[in-house]
A = this chain, B = another copy of it.
Amino acid sequence: MSDIRVLTGPEVAEHASRDSCWIIVHGKVYDVTDFLDEHPGGSKIILKYAGKDATEAYEPIHPPDAITTNLPPEKHLGAIDASTVAKVIKEVTEEEKRRLALLDARPPLDSVINLHDFENVAKMVLPEKAWAYYSSASDDEITIRENRMAYQRIWWRPRILRDVSSVDWSTTILGQKSTLPVYISATALGKLGHPDGELCLTRAAANHGVIQMIATLASCSFDDIIDAAAPGQTFFLQLYVNRDREITRKYVQHAEKRGVKGLFITVDAPQLGRREKDMRMKAVDDNAGAEVQKGQDVKKDQGVARAISSFIDPSLSWKDIPWFRSITKMPIILKGIGSAEDAVLAYEAGVQGIVLSNHGGRQLDTARSGIEVLVEVVTALRQRGYFPDPKFEIYVDGGVRRASDVLKAIALGAKAVGVGRPFLYAFCAYGQEGVEKAIQIFRDEFEMNMRLLGARTIDEIVPEMVDASSLTSHFVMTPQDNLFNNTYQPLALAKFRDAKL
């Protein structure tokens, strides 16, 4: 309709102060002066880009339309003439050089043989901030590790002498076909780790018949992801509910219109957890060379996670469920249930499923693992005649690294298992191919495990196949008698003749 004003680099550069602060994002110029104090990440980080192009910093940690949504139209000043913007010659730090060398030297993809490998490569090749954001969990990070440990408290009781020449581990999730009893769970800010962000997941999922759950906080916009889909590709949507319900309504209905098959409402994050690795990263940044100062801004140490999540509504409650039912026909799943009581309430509220999850250990620390909660949930539902019920599916996520883990969850009553970080790390390390390799590893492990368990189909994975009697035991080692340990001399093996060898 209107002519678009075109500005030049020098014009923008004049507005580089707290009193008048313009920035360039994606080729557009914005006046953010009045917004400085409202910015969830603090004003300081914006002021770093005052009068300059902020796109590179903006991109991975904001939903693409964040700036257009939050700034009133009159602050949209126009387009920038790219040729007039001084190129910033970024100095490559030693740290960054080392990272790039590591990226170059990463193991060939076919030497990657398990999901841990992806994580290790990602840890080495990711920018520090991205690794901190992805890997961090809350408080003492006990729950994130417990998520993994819990699977080791479940032991197999395999069956033998069954004809397992062909085994089939495909299933349906919310009635949708899936080649694996696994879906790609939502993780945020994919572009921090790979320029293609979540599209790596979308393309790999298409090739292998796996369902992707799209995150509200994805770096790629919802439509970009859907546009990249193969025909008939299945998606679920993870939803953080906005304080402004109208925004949520539009978002959900748009998703339904574009064919999303399930709405996973996150219910374990009325406020994002304190994630210290992420917070440290922020602190390091801001405090470089700083003195101990008095009365500093509290927001400083909140990390990326809190900065991007201020829109989430802490007042969300059971009362809101009917409203969701009223705005969409998609199956509704509550993601983040942590007790039998809430599983029963969810069933009685008429939703189509629940995810037993502690948000990858990123929210309440020392919350139990999904797999442990599963046992009490299935017991409680069964007692009330609510389980099994084909119209109410139970999922689990957190800590899964092996097909064997997935099968344990299925034996205990889960319909499928969500896998988040491993796929994220796979694309951070190797892009789309990494994700495909991860799926292939799962396939290979499923084949082997089902054969070794004597199960030909997912239905033959039954509770009797596991011994989960140690699952609820939370042992902590009694503090050691260090003096005794220091004086005890461990046994040694027979010595080789030349100690120098």
Which size bracket describes the interface of A in this complex?
A: 35 or more
- Chain B residues with Cβ below 8 Å from A430 are 292
Q: How far is the CA of A447 from the CA of B114 in the complex (A)?
A: 39
Q: How far is the CA of A107 from the CA of B155 in the complex (A)?
A: 39
Q: Does A52 contact B (CB under 8 A)?
A: no
Q: Does A397 contact B (CB under 8 A)?
A: no
* Residues of chain A in range 336-392 having any CB-CB distance to chain B below 8 Å: 336-339, 341-342, 345, 363-368
- Chain B residues with Cβ below 8 Å from A154 are 366
Q: Does A334 contact B (CB under 8 A)?
A: yes
Q: How far is the CA of A98 from the CA of B489 in the complex (A)?
A: 19
The answer to whether residues A102 and B501 also contact, given A111-B280, A156-B367 and a CB cut-off of 8 A, is yes
**Contact of A160 (CB < 8 Å), options: B117, B338, B482, B498:** B338
Q: How far is the CA of A102 from the CA of B495 in the complex (A)?
A: 11
- Chain B residues with Cβ below 8 Å from A271 are 164, 447-448, 451-452
Copies per assembly: 4
Q: Does A76 contact B (CB under 8 A)?
A: no
On whether the beta carbons of A341 and B464 are closer than 8 Å, the reply is yes
A126 to nearest B CB, angstroms?
12
Q: Which of A174-182, A217-225, A231-239, A467-475 contacts B (4 or more CB under 8 A)?
A: A467-475
Closest B-chain residue to A151, C-beta based?
B366
The answer to whether residues A152 and B474 also contact, given A294-B433, A364-B449, A496-B124 and a CB cut-off of 8 A, is yes
Closest B-chain residue to A142, C-beta based?
B479
On whether the beta carbons of B156 and A368 are closer than 8 Å, the reply is yes
Q: How far is the CA of A138 from the CA of B479 in the complex (A)?
A: 13
The answer to whether residues A368 and B467 also contact, given A140-B483, A276-B113, A495-B111 and a CB cut-off of 8 A, is yes
**Contact of A152 (CB < 8 Å), options: B158, B294, B481, B497:** B481
User: A105-122 toward B: CB 8 Å interface, digit per residue (1/0)?
Assistant: 111111111101101110
Q: How far is the CA of A487 from the CA of B117 in the complex (A)?
A: 8
**Contact of A494 (CB < 8 Å), options: B117, B139, B444:** B117
Q: Does A153 contact B (CB under 8 A)?
A: yes
Closest B-chain residue to A274, C-beta based?
B448
Closest B-chain residue to A141, C-beta based?
B491
User: A143-171 toward B: CB 8 Å interface, digit per residue (1/0)?
Assistant: 01110111111111111111111000000
Q: How far is the CA of A291 from the CA of B472 in the complex (A)?
A: 46
On whether the beta carbons of A140 and B402 are closer than 8 Å, the reply is yes
- Chain B residues with Cβ below 8 Å from A491 are 140-141, 276-277, 482-483
**Contact of A157 (CB < 8 Å), options: B144, B164, B294, B368:** B368
Q: How far is the CA of A116 from the CA of B363 in the complex (A)?
A: 20
User: A253-286 toward B: CB 8 Å interface, digit per residue (1/0)?
Assistant: 0000000000000011111011011011001101
On whether the beta carbons of A120 and B487 are closer than 8 Å, the reply is yes
The answer to whether residues A317 and B163 also contact, given A110-B293, A287-B110, A475-B470 and a CB cut-off of 8 A, is yes
Q: How far is the CA of A138 from the CA of B365 in the complex (A)?
A: 30
- Chain B residues with Cβ below 8 Å from A1 are none
Which A residues lie at the B interface, using CB under 8 A?
98, 101-102, 105-114, 116-117, 119-121, 123-124, 135, 138-142, 144-146, 148-165, 267-271, 273-274, 276-277, 279-280, 283-284, 286-287, 290-294, 296, 298, 300-301, 313-318, 320-321, 334, 336-339, 341-342, 345, 363-368, 401-402, 404, 430, 433, 440, 444-445, 447-449, 451-453, 464, 467, 469-470, 472-479, 481-484, 486-498, 501
Give the 3 A-B residue pairs with the shortest CB-CB distance, closest first.
Answer: A145-B479, A116-B483, A107-B494
A–B complex contacts, Cβ < 8 Å, 6 sampled: A108-B293, A111-B284, A140-B484, A141-B482, A268-B452, A473-B475
